Structure 1
Amino acid sequence: MARPQIHLRVSEDQKNRWQTYVEENGEYDTLTDLIRTSVEREISDVTTTQGGGNADSGRLDTLDERTDKILSRLSTIEGALGDALEAMHTAGVEVDDTTASLWNKLPEGGDNAQTVEEMMEHNEAMGERGLAKYRIRLEQLFNSTNAVKRTYIRRENDGTEYELQHPAYYKDV
């Protein structure tokens, strides 16, 4: 029994374009193969979209959820940063590169508090003047915002507490 045939009329330019594609692309053996494969892919894509998805839709849903969580966390962080900057401006704290650098280096939470020396230990070229500038700026942030806290107590993992020679600072956001 012979297979049914479908005749397709296209312009000569269109046929030449398709034929050139077949010749340049190793995926298809003939023009008929290109048309047959293209139609099957189109049907498969439409069916998958209407039928509620395929194996990849689960992964896409997971990616969408993760992206939403990341965007939510980013929004929270941006809000906290905006609040901190507003508090600094309101309190008259100069928001310059030093302040921005300190804010980025400040750890979150009292258990993670660090001294200026600890925050700047990788910046060997800073010197005593630079450390003094950072100490002053941290004190300004501490005195004028509720976002920066200061402590003189360090707690070790075993629960032992000891007093620090210099204050340690942290973000309380």
Structure 2
Amino acid sequence: MGDKRKPQLNMTLDEGQKEEWKEAVEEDNRFSSLSQLIRTSVERELSGGHDSNRDGKQIAKLVEKVGKLENQINALSVDLGEMRGIVESQQPSYSHLKSEAFAVLPDGDMASPMSPEEVASEVGGPVDAETMEDVLDELAASTGQVRAIYRENEVGEQIPRYRKKGDKMQ
């Protein structure tokens, strides 16, 4: 019958290192003893489990993937900018209506303000009251020469009426 005992390897290390390893064994249930921690760690190192070259390759792959994602994000940003331009170019331009609407608005404080419907009717052409209200609001905001006066209707809604600004505010 042969000796079934495993060969023993003795190591020398400082007490602080030994305590640190013992704490690792106590905190990690994968290891039942200090010897198992050491055997597992050595095997992992020998099998390339801590191969810095492999880690470097993984990092390089991750950097490559991040670069690809960055390129995709940049491409989406360009596409979004192009789409925004298309949408903005399809928004109605009120420039032709602004001058016509301004020309028909009553002038000054004493004038009776007009509703968007009345202005649209005076301007003529295919323009509805809602579009004309947008035009008049834009004129009021951009030029400061048009005043919106809100009056309450029978059901309590505030209805805008417009006129050119005079010297006095109403």
TM (normalized to structure 1)? 0.37
Comparing both structures, which one devotes a greater share of its residues to helix? 1
Bigger relative CO (Cα 8 Å, ≥ 6 apart): 1
TM (normalized to structure 2)? 0.37
Q: Which structure has the larger Rg over C-alpha atoms?
A: 2
